[in-house]
Chains A and B, each alone.
Chain A
Amino acid sequence: MMASIQKNPDRLDFEPKKFNMWIFIFTSFMFFAALTSGFIVYSGGKGHGLNVIMPSAFMYSTAVIILSSGTLFLAQRAVKRSQIGAQQLYLWLTFALGVAFFVIQVYAWSVLTYKMNVYLTDPNASRSFLYIFTGSHLLHIIAAILLLLSTLWGTYRKVPQARNLYKMQMTSIFWHFLGIIWIYLYVFLLLNQN
């Protein structure tokens, strides 16, 4: 029975599930595309520009998230070489950078609110969009951190190599995507800050 199943690659293997992740990324992309299009329609139609110089915290968070993609890449390379110890180290590093990104984003909100007087409930909704963009991105980051922790947990429970690799790949697709989305949002905000 096993043999006949192995010949059928269509049967419950990981490829379709990885494909699921790619499609999910599409849906997520559409969500952010809709938000930014909404921004364009709003600010273009009503003549409400953003008029906010982006706090420098965003620059640091951008650096952190790019760095985290790097450590995750190293973790994945370690899996392919079956170096569990190195994989765990790099995953912990990625986790720390992910949390750091989260903290810096929240710090950026406090700078925006308390130092720059840019509020979520601003009568100029372009400024509310700023919070919506970063907030919904952070929700995704929470999900990505949970996925990362589940992969990390798996390495301690010594799940089989194939499954470990699969979970690493799922985590990587999602994590790198969120990095790209953040860069997209940041560039979008920089271009529209006047």
Chain B
Amino acid sequence: MSTVAVHDHGVAHHDEHGHEHHHNETFVSKYIFSMDHKMIGKQFLITGITMAVIAMILSILFRIQLAYPDKTFPLLTTLLGHFAPNGRISTEFYLSLVTIHGTIMVFFVLTAGLSGTFANLLIPLQIGARDMASPFMNMLSYWFFFLASVVMLSSFFVQSGPASGGWTIYPPLSALPKAMPGSGEGMTLWLISMVLFVASSLMGGINYVSTILNMRTKGMDLWKMPLTIWALFLTAVLGILAFPVLVAGVVLLIFDRSFGTSFYLSDIVLNGVQQPYEGGSPILFQHLFWFLGHPEVYIVIMPAMGISSEIMSVNSRKPIFGYHAMVYSLIGITVLSFIVWGHHMFVTGMNPFLGGVFMITTLIIAVPSAVKTFNWLATLWRGNIRFTPAMLFAIGMVSFFISGGLTGIFLGNAALDINLHDTYFVVAHFHLVMGSAAIFGMLAGVYHWFPKMFGRLMDEKLGYLHFWLTFIGAYLVFFPMHFMGLDGVPRRYYAFTEFASMQKWLTINTFITWAAIMAALAQVAFLYNFVVSIFAGKKTTQNPWESNTLEWTTPVEHLHGNWPGEIPTVYRWPYDYSKPGAEEDFIPQTVPFSQTMSSNLPHDFEDNPAGLAELNRFKSTLKAEEKVK
């Protein structure tokens, strides 16, 4: 009796079957309320891509305003109605566009779309588990995310428009519904959406951590895990520690908005009327927000780092350079990310001594980041590189991480930040280092694991076209912004070129907009490739990239429980590529050392004296045979 109880699936169905095949799946249980981690991963990916396309269209809309502040486009009025009267985007709607673009990209695409997709797909497959710790909670995680997306987008359909206080929603602007149109219903919907989103993130993250720590297959100790798993694990830990703090901040904000408290409000005069709020501190919100907000940028970038590490090792046909250093640098970034939030607040009247402390911790992050960068470059060095689209995107991720990371060193300085804060320099910095880099990591992952998800390959030629147009486009868009920022051009302005001193930037704005339109059109190549390949792509083999990790030992056809028989046992780390003496240039994790005597090294037997003795005996036999010859 107890056996049955131990093996039922927990919450949704109590029919007594302990085996892993579900023959009675309906359309709803397979494609909609699925509890299979692979399907949930695909749901996250497709929702994430949809949100990314929407956010991209929003960005093109505000880019048009920036490039042509004096022209009218009657089409915009047709499309957007009262948000774009007389053929021009209204000032309020411009701010909404910027806000919702940021919110969607940071949270819905690069947090849920990236972590949600690859954690769900890869964690059980790469550590050798049948599914997540709690498949039911995993399903809830997706549906909370879906609901959050719907609520966020529904704010485009309220009269006063979506939230418009920036993705950081600083009070007092966001706390006073009457402060501007975007602080009204749109802001309420934003807050509801984010609460749902955080619930989704936490349910997902709790599952990821628990699965990785408890459900690894035999032989899979922590130091045999692929770097993707390490990255996704530490990302989930960051989310678990950081998101509740955002909730705390948002709860107080909701009370200020709707219940008349004054946590963040003080001395407010609205439309000439003194408001009753007293004694609040808007800086308190910034502390709570950035305690999440800074770890959030690592939640965005670390999965991309893990994915790129894995893809670069596979496609360089070389072990990742400095595996342990890669893990320790991820851990270093995780720890440091919690003590740097003050660098977002250097100019809020912070005590300069405290600013100095935050500056030092911030600059220390350059150390683990540089360790990772050098290791990626060393992995490529003299590799037998296969330039698959996934590999190109992984290399592109490194490129953006370097060029965006360098400007982080400028911005991390409390003194330089006095000049640079709130300018386009900041916009350029984070769009390269976390925007473009994380998107490239995500796209690399999509190209690489597409065969695992859909059983078919994506078209390579379209992949190359997509890569080069996007790569060049992203640099053309964001690189000029550095110079605008150095010249003091402020971010988030509707028409800064009206200032006489900034008129000269109008031509650059036009150039950037056209580069953005080119990069946006390049995504059509991706979307076409993605959709068509799902149905008509070339069928894949079981291990198309000749990779070592466990997910490629599962059958191409998906089945609930992942492996038809027993879960394979793991004997070695995931990066035995091009090992001298091996028959092929890769040795999957499931191959025991006893089958690869010719390529074994003394180093492989550090904790295994019996194995080492066996290796020495093998070597002496070889020597003896050579002497005979």
Binding site for B on A (CB under 8 A): 1-2, 4-6, 8, 10-17, 19-20, 23-24, 26-28, 30-31, 33-35, 37-38, 41-42, 45-46, 48, 120-125, 128-129, 132, 136, 159-163
Contacts and interface: CB of A to CB of B under 8 A. Distances in A.
B10 A17 contact: yes
Contacts of B179: none
Interface in B4-40: 4-7, 9-10, 18-19
A1 B19 contact: yes
Q: Which of B19, B213, B252, B277 has the most CB of A within 10 A?
A: B252
Given A26-B241, A30-B244, A34-B291, A132 B251 contact: yes
Interface string B207-230: 101110111110000000000000
Contacts of B528: none
A38 B134 contact: no
Contact of B249 (A1, A34, A122): A34
Contacts of A38: 248-249, 252, 263, 284, 287-288
Contact of B134 (A20, A120, A121): A20
Given A5-B18, A8-B567, A123-B278, A136 B5 contact: no
Contacts of A20: 133-134, 137, 206-207, 210
B45 interface: no
Nearest to A160: B5
Interface SS of A by simple majority: helix
A38 B5 CA distance: 44
Contacts of A4: 565-566
Q: Which of B1, B131, B134, B210 has the most CB of A within 10 A?
A: B210
A129 B240 CA distance: 23
A6 B261 contact: no
B214 A46 contact: no
A36 to B, nearest CB: 9
A121 B4 contact: no
A10 B130 contact: yes
A4 B263 CA distance: 58
A1 B7 CA distance: 12
A159 B8 CA distance: 12
Contacts of A42: 263, 281, 284
Given A23-B206, A30-B244, A125-B279, A12 B261 contact: no
B322 interface: no
A41 B284 contact: yes
A160 B209 contact: no
B247 interface: yes
8 contacts: A5-B19, A19-B210, A20-B133, A23-B210, A26-B241, A27-B202, A38-B248, A41-B284
Contact of A128 (B10, B205, B214, B263): B263
Given A45-B283, A45-B284, A10 B567 contact: yes
The 6 closest A-B pairs by CB, nearest first: A16-B133, A34-B248, A160-B5, A123-B278, A31-B244, A30-B244
A10 B129 CA distance: 7
Contacts of A27: 202, 206, 240-241, 243-244
B217 A10 contact: yes
B261 A120 contact: yes
A160 B18 CA distance: 15
Contact of A2 (B5, B18, B277, B281): B18
Given A27-B244, A128-B261, A160-B1, A34 B214 contact: no
